[in-house]
Structure 1
Amino acid sequence: MSRTRIALAVSAAAVVLAAAACAPQPESDTGAAASGSPDCTANSPGLHKRGQLTVATDSPAYAPWFEDNTPSNGKGFESAVAYAVAGKLGFAQDQVKWVVEPFAHSYAPGAKNFDFDINQISVTPQRAQAVDFSASYYTADQAVLTLDDSGFAKATSLGALKDARIGVQVATTSYQAVLDQLKPSRQPSVFNTTNDEVNALKNGQIDAIVTDLPTVFYLAGSELDNAKIVGQFGYAGGTPEEFGLLLPKDSKFTTCVNQALGALRSDGTLAKLTSQWLSASANVPELKP
């Protein structure tokens, strides 16, 4: 899966203020909120349900983003990030409630039953018309996965993949990345789930899968016995693809989440979690046109 936006700049001073503003404090230590400051406490009226942080993702939830299809266990990059954000906001682990939200539904207009959704959702201007996005918590390249015996296994450029039958997942930005960067001679095949893509590759219906690099690593290591990671590529002009937390449009909690992410970036937590769960991006060749 894959997902672009201009990241919000968070100054060191703002991060310090964020931690103070967001963490619930003992009543005796809590003064009057500054005019216009967001209420980032567990009792905030901006929450979907007061007293808990409601977090959404799709099901099944795949590694390395989640482990054992159990978002609530804190394992996997996105589960760990969600709980880290919750912690910066002052929520205990048992105050985090997970709900299921299909990927393609998450950025559709309308009411939401969550405070934020974390599901490798790329920030795009089109999606941002209907929902709010946080600052980026991960920047991802696309990658090409095929089989060892494929005629495209030894491709060293995007041009060498022009005639490949490419598979992508529905409603992801991988589809547009394929059109813009690979410029294939035939339309990509679109599948509902990652499992459908893998089965199509195994059955010879497609020659390669294009999705984000961490997911390619997972598929190559866990779902396919004879997988070959052909290479990775970014976007024209060097514009990164960034994943953001998705919130309801005009959510009163968007500022709170951005403050929490700023604090996690400043104190090194995001870098640490990225290294822990998504560390295998080295030694993958970059595919040029």
Structure 2
Amino acid sequence: MSGRTPRRPAAAAAAAALALTVMTGCGGDEGATVQGVKLIKKGQLTSCTHLPYPPFQVEQGGKVVGFDVDMIDLVAKRLGVTQKVVDTPFETMKTGAALNAGKCDIVMGGMTIKQDRVQFMDVSKPYFDATQALMAKKDSGVTSLDDVKNRKLKLGSQASTTGEDYVKEKGLDPRSFDNSLAELDGLRTGQVDVIVQDYPVVQGWLKEPANAAKYAIVANLNTGEQYGFWIRKGHNPKLVELTNQAIEGAKADGTYKKIYEKWIGPMPKPGGAGGAGGSGGGTS
């Protein structure tokens, strides 16, 4: 996501869907309209994401949790329903195909607001600003993308993300990994020397003592992107409106700050790396 998520075979996606108890809510179920919002299944707000993508969404103990999940829960609460999460290939999320097929009501997953996506889907107001980060061994001596390029180091990225697009635009040819955890393993096992990933994701990895002992953020890349929640084009204007209200309300009453600190850490000042509500960059 801002940079964000991966491609993986349909069979793998189907297997993941079967493994999660939250994977219900397809177009064939009985729908409902609540407060003018069209829901594909009565009594629930069905959200699509692509797992895993900590700290925004990850499965823990058979349940999908994370920053985005908590934010969409606020929307569901306003509707008086519960959220159900569907694990979905990212390709079908970013094109609007999952929404058009009635697989979900709303798409989350650290997905950057981009003009090409806005053509096919409606989007909420920005709910998160995030920079990209380069992560490498502490003694790597890397301080920029130029270092990676000039020293011919092996760079890893997550498939289908804006982080990957960004480094390609800078003339690098990264090794593409299916998801964020595979990318991290690529660094750990020496398949690559440096990885590019969303700042909040890297920050979350570095909370683990084993990672913090060996690796560090060696550079921040402010790509000026923002995350949004996505809704079927022209189909559910009331859901767009309600989602915006939930975002604004959370920022106004302190709920957003609590969610941010729970999943990411201390909130930076507006405009800072990984910040919210100011300028910043995203990644998926």
Q: Same fold (TM over 0.5)?
A: yes
- Structure 1 residue 121: deviation in Å? 0.7
2:46 to 54, 58, 61: 54
Tell me whether 1:2 sits opposite 2:5 in the alignment: no
RMSD of aligned residue pairs (Cα, Å):
2.8
Tell me whether 1:230 sits opposite 2:214 in the alignment: no
Contact 1:53 1:96 in 2 (8 A): yes
> Which has the higher Rg, Structure 1 or Structure 2?
1
Q: How many residues align?
A: 233
User: What per-residue deviation string (whole Å, max 9, x for no partner) do you get for residues 50-100 of structure 1?
Assistant: 3321122223x3432235446856x4312211212222x2324xx222222
Q: In the superposition, relative to structure 1, how do residues 2 and 262 fare at CA in structure 2: closer, same or farther (>3 Å)?
A: same
TM-score (norm 1): 0.70
- Structure 1 residue 106: deviation in Å? 0.4
Tell me whether 1:179 sits opposite 2:168 in the alignment: yes
Unaligned segments of structure 1, at least 5 residues: 4-39
Tell me whether 1:250 sits opposite 2:234 in the alignment: yes
Identity of paired residues, percent? Answer: 28
Contact 1:133 1:254 in 2 (8 A): yes
TM-score (norm 2): 0.72
Contact 1:148 1:228 in 2 (8 A): yes
Q: For residue 66 of structure 1, what is the aligned residue in structure 2? A: 57
Q: In the superposition, relative to structure 1, how do residues 198 and 120 fare at CA in structure 2: closer, same or farther (>3 Å)?
A: same
User: What per-residue deviation string (whole Å, max 9, x for no partner) do you get for residues 122-160 of structure 1?
Assistant: 1111122222211111100000111235xxx23334422
Contact 2:137 2:214 in 1 (8 A): yes
> 1-side partners of 2:187 and 2:267: how far apart?
22
Q: In the superposition, relative to structure 1, how do residues 234 and 80 fare at CA in structure 2: closer, same or farther (>3 Å)?
A: same
Q: In the superposition, relative to structure 1, how do residues 229 and 67 fare at CA in structure 2: closer, same or farther (>3 Å)?
A: same
- Structure 1 residue 43: deviation in Å? 6.0
Tell me whether 1:168 sits opposite 2:168 in the alignment: no
Q: For residue 80 of structure 1, what is the aligned residue in structure 2? A: 70
1:269 to 252, 255, 258: 255
Q: For residue 241 of structure 1, what is the aligned residue in structure 2? A: 225
> 2-side partners of 1:129 and 1:256: how far apart?
21
Contact 1:55 1:99 in 2 (8 A): yes
Q: In the superposition, relative to structure 1, how do residues 192 and 159 fare at CA in structure 2: closer, same or farther (>3 Å)?
A: same
> 2-side partners of 1:281 and 1:262: how far apart?
17
> 2-side partners of 1:105 and 1:188: how far apart?
23
Unaligned segments of structure 2, at least 5 residues: 4-31, 274-284
> 2-side partners of 1:273 and 1:281: how far apart?
10
Question: Residues 2-151 of structure 1 correspond to what in structure 2 (within 5 A)?
Answer: 2-3=2-3, 42=34, 44=36, 46-59=38-51, 61-66=52-57, 68-69=59-60, 72=63, 75-87=65-77, 89-92=78-81, 95-110=82-97, 111=100, 112-149=102-139
Partner secondary structure for residue 127 of structure 2 = strand
> 1-side partners of 2:267 and 2:219: how far apart?
10
